[in-house]
């Protein structure tokens, strides 16, 4: 412990911006790397097949291999599977990227060699787990319950299989082929992001279509044609209805996912920002003077930002004067109405809104930065000092 003791009251420390994770979902690049599998039986064969499908050179050690192990060795899905009809030795783990064992002894040997290991059906001995997989490679979705409910994970996988078209695999592969061309197209960084947003929207609308060079050319032309207007920035006024993330409209979600800056009041649930673009900056305006708020909207949009003003706790009130002022500044403005809340709320509902407001203020997601103008925080023009926005934070979640 350091000589200077930290005497801060733990109760006043803001909570973490991300909830605890039971497992960190990572995706290993195993192509051409060695993987060791020790054991026998159908579960071992399944793990060996998964590793080979990911491109690993798999070495399986089994003294009396079952028929399923022999079958996958003869018909490996991608990379090779070598079957060694003997028990594993400690030196076999040398140079392996990962290891899978059918018994606990393999875990000790793997760790001694510095190799991360998975022991089948023994979560306590595992450095990593496989989970359930939805394969639309190169689009891959992994699902984990941390070993608590594998059947539940499989049920979620089955549901996702019915929701995600197999044609998405073709579009994900097209994205990989076109990425270098987009990088060298001359588009600015915001322009490239707009290209990929248009690409995603087109792919989602045409999952069974075979991606063609003509599609790439059309998307690139559309992005270039919109470049001038897009570089000038835009303003979207979004109603969040009662302030619940599950009641956002699809247009509202699309606006939040494309925003550079989000102006938000304190009558919204903290998780409403989970649907926003990760890189977006969020400004808590609260009871900022309306004139200054409009000035801030215009200043940010003129700096080339896509600005979203998110309002909750009832029907949004976007005055004609606000809209006229933004349009008078030569800016594109869009109004996205929210789900209308009941006009006559009960006392319970009013208390709920007040509690939500307190959760936003105390969540740590919008931690105040006292006396810090926007210009000093991120290079954007600030409102007048006396009416400056009350907080700024990044919604980046890693």
Q: Known catalytic residues?
A: 265, 287
Tell me the C-alpha distance between 268 and 248, whole Å.
11
Rg of the chain over CA atoms, in angstroms? 27
Q: DSSP string of 21-62?
A: -SS-------TT-EEEEE--SHHHHHHHHHHHHTT-EEEEE-
Give the contacts of 211 (CB within 8 A, at least 6 positions apart): 170, 171, 173, 174, 203
DSSP conformational letter for 118: E
Structure tokens of 80? 């090779």
DSSP conformational letter for 83: E
Locate the DSSP E strands across 39-185: 57-61, 81-84, 98-101, 117-119, 132-136, 139-143
How buried is 143 (Cβ within 10 angstroms: 0-12 exposed, 13-18 middle, 19+ buried)?
middle
Tell me the C-alpha distance between 238 and 241, whole Å.
9
- 36 has which bridge partners? 59, 99
Tell me the C-alpha distance between 185 and 191, whole Å.
10
Structure tokens of 142? 């992994």
């Amino acid at each position: 412990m350091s000589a200077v003791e930290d005497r801060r009251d733990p109760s006043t420390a803001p909570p973490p911006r991300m909830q605890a994770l039971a497992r960190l979902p990572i995706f290993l690049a195993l192509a051409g790397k060695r993987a060791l599998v020790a054991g026998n039986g159908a579960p071992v064969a399944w793990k060996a097949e998964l590793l080979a499908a990911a491109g690993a050179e798999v070495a399986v050690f089994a003294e009396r291999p079952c028929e399923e192990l022999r079958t996958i060795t003869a018909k490996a899905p991608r990379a090779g599977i070598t079957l060694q009809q003997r028990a594993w030795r400690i030196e076999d783990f040398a140079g392996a990227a990962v290891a899978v064992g059918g018994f606990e002894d393999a875990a000790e040997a793997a760790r001694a060699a510095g190799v991360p290991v998975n022991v089948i059906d023994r979560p306590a001995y595992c450095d990593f787990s496989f989970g359930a997989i939805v394969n639309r490679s190169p689009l891959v979705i992994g699902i984990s319950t941390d070993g608590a409910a594998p059947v539940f994970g499989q049920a979620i996988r089955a549901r996702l299989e019915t929701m995600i078209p197999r044609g998405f695999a073709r579009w994900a592969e097209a994205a990989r082929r076109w990425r270098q061309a987009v990088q060298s197209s001359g588009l600015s960084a915001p322009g490239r992001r707009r290209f990929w947003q248009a690409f995603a929207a087109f792919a989602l609308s045409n999952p069974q279509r075979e991606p063609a060079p003509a599609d790439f050319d059309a998307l690139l032309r559309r992005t270039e044609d919109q470049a001038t207007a897009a570089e000038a920035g835009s303003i979207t006024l979004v109603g969040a209805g009662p302030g619940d993330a599950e009641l956002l409209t699809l247009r509202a979600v699309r606006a939040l996912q494309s925003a550079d800056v989000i102006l938000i009041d304190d009558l919204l649930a903290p998780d409403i920002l989970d649907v926003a673009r990760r890189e977006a900056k969020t400004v808590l305006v609260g009871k900022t003077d309306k004139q200054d708020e409009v000035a801030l909207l215009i200043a940010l949009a003129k700096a080339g930002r896509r600005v979203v003003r998110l309002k909750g706790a009832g029907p949004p009130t976007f005055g004609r004067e606000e809209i006229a002022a933004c349009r008078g500044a030569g800016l594109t403005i869009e109004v996205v109405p929210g789900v209308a809340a009941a006009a006559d709320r009960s006392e319970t509902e009013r208390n709920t809104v007040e509690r939500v407001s307190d959760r936003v203020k105390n969540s740590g997601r919008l931690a105040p930065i006292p006396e810090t103008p926007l210009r000093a925080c991120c290079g954007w023009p600030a409102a007048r000092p006396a009416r400056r926005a009350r907080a700024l934070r990044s919604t980046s979640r890693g």
